[in-house]
Amino acid sequence: MAKVREIKGRMKAIGNIERITKTMKMIATVRFQSALRDATAARPYAQKVTDLVADLAKHCDGDDGSAVMHPLLRRATGTGRKLLLVLTSNRGLCGGYNARVLRAVNQHINESGGKDVDLEVVGKKGAAYFRFTGRTVAAVHTQFGDKPVYSEIEKLARQYMDKFTSGQYDSVSVAYMSFQSAARQTPQILTLLPLQDPKDGKSEADSEETGMVADYEFSPFPQELLGELLPLSVKTQLLACFGEAVVSEHTARMVAMQNATDAAGKMGKRLTRSFNRARQAAITTELSEIIAGATALE
């Protein structure tokens, strides 16, 4: 009888866990849909900024074929130091989301030598991991929640641009989970600074495919406009990284909670079968004892 009560208690606990994971999956689904809408809505703006920067860069070329000159486009200064921003989650229960990002970060650090890379972390899970491994973290950014605000991201982007243009770092990169679809997310290391040459971002083949060539009249001059748009390009890239990281986190949590719900359901069925067997065995034992007692009285 004790075994029957024990199985019944486990069945109740598994039922409670299943209800909790199902609720968490529903919450993650709602947040995923909201984050996906925000990320999708921001993509056309970011793409248009990139296209406009490429068009401006073509008009900024001198007659001698000289390249566009801007502090955000320059190459290494020789200091050898690099800055890596790692985007992780504040909460767990999202499967291997954080582990995959951190694994990609460790691989990138090992390939870079490791000594000249300064780390900055967004998210409690990443900060706890590097604290556990004993790796020094230059800064932990706690101002970003489940829904990053552009004003906070803009401040961070300005800090990175100032550090890069002052020569403190040769490059600034971002490690995050890139969102391709609900079934596929891949960790990625994006080089935020120095920016890629704008002329390489939009080729003549793109215009030939669409059959449209934009002809602009610039006021003020293209060089001045480019000086305003290149910092904006850095901010939009960093915003896109945060957006994809949030979408990927909610996707991972949604899948993890669905798997946990399915596992709890299967375990509940196994416990139900065990409970029925144990109860049937107890009933059979009691019947045998009753029959044996009645036989002894005859």
Cα dihedral 64, 68, 71, 72, rounded to 10, equals -160
- Dump pLDDT digits (tens) for 45-63: 888 887 777 777 666 655 4
Structure tokens given for 9: 């208690």
Give the gyration radius of the chain's Cα atoms: 29
Question: Is there a domain that residue 122 lies in?
Answer: yes
Asked if pLDDT for residue 1 goes beyond 80, the answer is no
In angstroms, rounded to a whole number, what is the distance separating the alpha carbons of residues 214 and 205? 14
Beta partners for 205?
none
Does the N-terminal peptide bond of residue 194 adopt cis geometry, omega within 30 degrees of 0? yes
pLDDT recorded at residue 58: 67
In three-state secondary structure terms, 207 is helix
Question: Is there a domain that residue 82 lies in?
Answer: yes
In three-state secondary structure terms, 145 is coil
The secondary structure of 70-130 as a DSSP string is -GGG----S---EEEEEE--SS--STTHHHHHHHHHHHHHHHHTSTTEEEEEESHHHHHHH
- Dump pLDDT digits (tens) for 211-227: 555 566 666 776 777 77
- The CATH number of the domain holding residue 284 is 1.10.287.80
Residue 168, amino acid: Q
Domain identity same for 130 and 278: no
Nearest residue to 55 via CA among 199, 223, 210: 199
Question: Is there a domain that residue 280 lies in?
Answer: yes
- Give me the number of domains the chain comprises: 2
More confident position, 1 or 191: 191
- The CATH number of the domain holding residue 178 is 3.40.1380.10
Average pLDDT, the chain: 84
Are 83 and 120 within 8 A, CB to CB? Answer: yes
pLDDT recorded at residue 249: 94
pLDDT recorded at residue 158: 94
Residue 124 pLDDT grade (very low, low, confident, very high; cuts 50, 70, 90): very high
Domain identity same for 63 and 208: yes
Range of the domain at 281: 2-26+262-291
